Copies of this chain bind each other. A is one copy, B any other.
Amino acid sequence: MEFTFSRIMEQVKPSEIRELLKYASQPGMISLGGGMPNPGSFAVEEIREIADYVLENYGALALQYGNTGGYDELRKQLAIFLGEMEDIKTDARNIIVTTGSQQALYSVGKILVNQGDFVITESPTYIGAISAFRACGIRMEGIPMDEQGMKTDMLQASLEKHRSQGIMPRFIYVIPNFQNPSGYTMSLERRKHIIDLSEEFDVPIVEDNPYGHVRFSGTHLPNIKTLARDNRVIYLGTFSKIMSPGLRIGFVSADESVVGKINLLKQGLELSGSTLTEFIAAEYLKRGIMKRKIPEVARMYGKKRNLMLKALEDYFPDWATWSKPEGGMFVWATLNEKINTSKMIARAIENKVTYISGASFYPEEPRYDSMRLNFTFPSDEDIPIAIQRLAAVVEKEAKAIEVSR
């Protein structure tokens, strides 16, 4: 038989990243696509020891169904972690464990937004947020960014316009630290401004902070959640970048009413997450491995960022620009508007290098002049080679366009 699919699935498109993963494994290919942590950052031996300890001592519990909200000890440890590392005063009751922060994104979309309503995001923004919100049937309005993060004066103008029309966004979604894909970090001033706007217009903030711990230069800025005067910030965290994405440990710290609704939804989505990986993550925190590993990971990625920035200086054309992230995983390189990076990708693959074209990251009308370059996954040796290969593709593309005019 021919299956008829629901209307909402018409809006859900295959992600270019997932498609590109096929090429990433071709021999000789260097991938600057994906958003994968370096496997060298995984504390494999410690995790192995912990898995063994957990199964030896808690086998019957760690293999059984768990709480929908997450293993109690993990939520307790998360509250301590958020207090110590993020200056977020929270409590196990205000925390729910999610299957990666991807599930948290889908959940906030689902519990706070009616199908057809809209939210505000940065533009460009995280591709996973776009796919989660699309799967929820949510429209998005993107607010442009510069090196200080989302342009909050434009956010203000937008909110004023919407208020005058009587239809408000259901939340404002931001990634303040080393944003994906731009690498930009929101300034302290704008963090404060966004809180003021949230209060004035009564719109909650969803703060996504997957990379905040991975800072290799500059000064730590307080989270929006920390700066907020009340419960209006829903904070999303994950261990995918600092411990292991394969365990799928994400979490939300928020008002109890929000946590309660996510819990209800999660019962329908998956009943509960993996008890085994939750036990492992709790023990990892308890043993203090997380705290010890984070600076190591930051050092490893800082070196890779430096290698990529140097290679861009060395090989990329003068007229290209790129972000200089103080942390995280990505550089955002912008070429000339005449170059379509979505089309150029075929040539890059021929030249044994991949990236994600900028168009994937726009919540509304895409721009085609940028690309996201990941520096955490490739080896130190491969980074300059990849950039050199990519630069050759860019130069050729630029010439071809000159010729065809």
Contacts and interface: CB of A to CB of B under 8 A. Distances in A.
A264 interface: yes
Interface in A8-55: 8-9, 12-15, 18, 21, 34, 36-37, 39-40, 42, 44, 47-48, 51-52, 55
Number of copies: 2
Interface string A109-133: 0111111000000000000100110
Contact of A106 (B55, B100, B170, B268): B268
Nearest to A137: B115
A401 interface: no
B273 A9 contact: no
A8 B39 contact: no
A246 B280 CA distance: 12
B18 A68 contact: yes
Contact of A246 (B18, B56, B63, B248): B63
Contact of A47 (B1, B63, B240, B246): B63
A267 interface: yes
A7 B170 CA distance: 13
A319 interface: no
A56 B44 CA distance: 8
Given A3-B258, A99-B273, A274-B274, A55 B64 contact: no
Interface in A195-254: 202, 204, 230-232, 240, 244-248
Contacts of A267: 12, 14-15, 18, 128, 131
A274 B255 contact: no
A2 to B, nearest CB: 8
Contact of A1 (B13, B232, B240, B248): B232
Nearest to A243: B63
A114 B8 contact: yes
A62 interface: yes
A102 B102 CA distance: 17
B99 A270 contact: yes
Interface in A176-210: 202, 204
B131 A261 contact: no
5 contacts: A5-B112, A39-B63, A44-B60, A65-B245, A99-B274
Q: Which 5 A-B pairs have the closest CB atoms?
A: A135-B268, A246-B275, A39-B60, A44-B59, A63-B244
Given A4-B170, A48-B52, A276-B276, 20 more contacts: A6-B110, A6-B114, A9-B264, A37-B64, A42-B64, A48-B56, A62-B246, A64-B245, A99-B273, A102-B269, A103-B270, A106-B268, A110-B135, A115-B115, A131-B267, A132-B269, A135-B265, A248-B270, A248-B274, A274-B274
